[in-house]
Amino acid sequence: MSSPEIASLSWGQMKVKGCTTTYKDCKVWPGGSRTWDWRETGTNHSPGVQPADLEEVVKKGVKTVVIGRGMSEALQVPPSTVDYLKKNGIDVLVLQTEKAVKEYNALAAQGVKVGGVFHSTC
pLDDT for residue 20: 95
The domain tally of the chain equals: 1
Report CA-CA distances (Å) from 88 to 48, 63, 82, 101: 20, 9, 10, 22
Q: Is residue 69 part of a domain?
A: yes
Q: Is residue 42 part of a domain?
A: yes
- 60-117 per-position pLDDT tens digit: 999 999 999 999 999 999 999 999 999 999 999 999 999 999 999 999 999 999 999 9
Q: Classify 106 as helix, strand or coil.
A: helix
Beta bridge partners of 65: 92, 115
How many other β-carbons are positioned within 10 Å of the β-carbon of residue 80? Answer: 11
pLDDT for residue 73: 98
Q: Is residue 79 part of a domain?
A: yes
pTM (whole model) above 0.95: yes
Domain holding 18: CATH number? 3.40.1230.10
